[in-house]
């Protein structure tokens, strides 16, 4: 959908449909809506008092003008009660509005800037959130369909109506919304696509495209190189697959930041998880293509970071492999030596994500990071604890964990903190190695975080995001259709541009 500006007086606006929002039982209407109605006597008579429309969250009502009228339709979408308004409700309302346009095959709707007046947000923020909701709400993955009768091309454009030239803040809000949507949709595409297409090599090629486009530094560590570097956890998981495995390292290093300590983002990239020798049940195993959603989130974030030319050194590390039950696959009972030197007893080969992340965290320490954040579809236990709409965050610095949760609430990537108390390590104690890769079922998401914590020195700020639930939706949401959600993309970008460590990394 192409978004463009149209500058003209309110009375002269033209569109196939014009989009407005209103709070539940809102009387009077939002001030921008009232201003437009004052310039449109016919519509004022038609829309007052919006008849049976109540303005409930996502409620939609359509009003039709005369055949020859410059505004053919007015589409009103409810925001719910004013006292419960947040940015997500605006994003949802905008998504509902453009989906209604697609349903009605409206090619050229318009969003008036006054439609956002009266919201408890500044104009640029309101415009950005509405456009992100609209752009991502239209997302569909249709790359492999040859029979598709659904109206994917609608709407073709979205016109932003304004009475005067937009200021720099509004233009930047438009630019920011569009690049954010592109990053989220890239991550969704990678996660939804089947595992016979999105292999570790495919992700490496995508990273190479981004490196070429945005002048990122890139290093590709293949399996032989990983063995030479002592990555015994990563290589053990990878040896069971016929697909070549790679540890992908992307670096955004703008001029003047070469000596800065980087923010390191690490994403789990299991492109298909059969469980290895501890093979999963066949029911819904096809969904295990989405076990690389953490890596996809980082690639989506780097798409945005590259476009916005963020003036900060950032490194992305993506350990990418399949987890398969081949004759060469690692086995329960094996003891593996990690890059950091610690040994791990394998209890379940289906707890592979923490293994490859362990070596990635150890590798990241050589970069002398100012902080590290890993993101992974790590445990089913997290879904049991928090459901499928909320992820978990845990880490070794309260300020970092709190900032991640705060940003997540603002951008719609909800996270809830879980504890990291030392006694949880008791479940990982091993008779033959430094520790095991799993404990008992109790506290599974927390124990997985405790496992990762063993690879992070206390002086390095670190957070772990378990997105096993919200990375994928089994039903259509307002913000995303059934499938990948792009969870974490916007969170990582906003963290990179808004957070700096409060303590030095020694």
The DSSP symbol for 427 reads G
Assign 423 to helix, strand or coil. helix
Q: Where are the alpha helices (DSSP H) in 426-500?
A: 444-453, 489-498
354 is catalytic: yes
Is beta strand 314-323 parallel, antiparallel or unpaired with respect to 246-252?
antiparallel
Beta-bridge mates of residue 109: 17
d(CA 420, CA 422): 6
Active site residue 51: no
Q: Are the C-beta atoms of residues 248 and 317 closer than 8 Å to each other?
A: yes
Given a contact cutoff of 8 angstroms between Cβ atoms, the answer to whether 93 and 133 are in contact is yes
In three-state secondary structure terms, 31 is helix
Task: Check 89, 268, 289, 354 and give the catalytic one.
Answer: 354
* Active-site option among 140, 201, 227, 280: 280
The dihedrals phi and psi of 393, each to the nearest 5 degrees, come to: -130, 135
Query: 119 in the Ramachandran plot: left (φ > 0), alpha (ψ -120 to 50) or beta?
Result: beta
Judge whether 470 and 391 are in contact, CB under 8 Å.
yes
* Cα gap 404→270, rounded to integer Å: 24
Environment class of 298 (CB within 10 Å of its CB; exposed 0-12, middle 13-18, buried 19+): buried
Nearest CA to 141 out of 95, 190, 203, 197 is that of 190
CA separation for the pair 421, 484 (Å, rounded): 32
And the tokens for 110?
């318009």
| Residues taking part in catalysis | 280, 354
């Amino acid at each position: 959908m192409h978004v463009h500006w149209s500058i003209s007086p309110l009375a002269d606006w033209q569109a196939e449909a014009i989009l407005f929002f209103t709070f539940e039982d809102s009387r009077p209407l939002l001030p921008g809506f009232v201003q437009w109605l004052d310039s449109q006597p016919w519509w004022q008579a038609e829309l007052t008092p919006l008849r049976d429309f109540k303005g409930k969250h996502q409620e939609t009502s359509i009003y039709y003008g005369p055949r020859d009228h410059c505004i053919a339709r007015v589409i009103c979408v409810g925001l719910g009660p004013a006292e419960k308004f947040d940015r997500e409700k605006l994003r949802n309302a905008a998504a509902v509005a453009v989906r209604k346009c697609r349903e009605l095959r409206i090619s050229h709707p318009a969003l008036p800037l006054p439609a956002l007046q009266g919201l408890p947000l500044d104009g640029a923020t309101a415009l950005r959130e509405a456009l992100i909701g609209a752009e991502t709400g239209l997302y569909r993955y249709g790359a492999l369909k040859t029979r598709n009768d659904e109206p994917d091309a609608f709407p073709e454009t979205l016109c932003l109506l304004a009475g005067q030239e937009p200021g720099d803040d509004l233009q930047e809000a438009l630019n920011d919304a569009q690049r954010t949507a592109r990053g989220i949709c890239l991550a969704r595409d990678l996660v939804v696509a089947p595992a016979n297409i999105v292999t570790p090599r495919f992700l490496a090629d995508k990273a190479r495209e981004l490196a070429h486009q945005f002048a990122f530094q890139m290093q590709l560590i293949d399996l032989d190189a990983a063995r030479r570097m002592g990555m015994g956890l990563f290589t053990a998981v990878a040896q069971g697959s016929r697909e070549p495995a790679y540890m992908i390292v992307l670096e955004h290093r703008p001029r003047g930041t070469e000596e800065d300590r980087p923010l390191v983002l690490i994403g789990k990239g299991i492109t298909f998880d059969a469980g290895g020798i501890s093979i999963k049940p066949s029911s819904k195993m096809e969904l295990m293509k989405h076990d690389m959603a953490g890596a996809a989130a980082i690639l989506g974030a780097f798409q945005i970071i590259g476009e916005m030319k963020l003036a900060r050194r950032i490194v992305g590390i993506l350990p990418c492999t399949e987890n398969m039950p081949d004759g060469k696959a690692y086995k329960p009972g094996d003891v593996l030596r990690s890059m950091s030197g610690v040994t791990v007893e394998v209890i379940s080969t289906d707890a592979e994500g923490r293994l490859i992340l362990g070596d990635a965290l150890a590798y990241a320490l050589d970069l002398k990071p100012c902080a590290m954040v890993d993101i992974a579809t790590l445990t089913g236990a997290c879904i049991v604890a928090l459901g499928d709409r909320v992820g978990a965050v845990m880490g070794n610095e309260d300020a970092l964990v709190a900032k991640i949760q705060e940003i997540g609430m603002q951008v719609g990537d909800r996270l809830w903190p879980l504890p990291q108390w030392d006694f949880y390590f008791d479940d990982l104690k091993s008779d033959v190695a430094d520790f095991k890769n799993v404990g008992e079922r109790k506290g599974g998401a927390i124990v997985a975080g405790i496992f990762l914590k063993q690879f992070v020195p206390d002086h390095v700020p670190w957070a772990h995001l378990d997105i096993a639930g919200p990375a994928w939706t089994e039903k259509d949401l307002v913000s995303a259709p059934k499938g990948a959600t792009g969870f974490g993309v916007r969170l990582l970008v906003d963290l990179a541009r808004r957070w700096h460590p409060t303590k030095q990394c020694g």
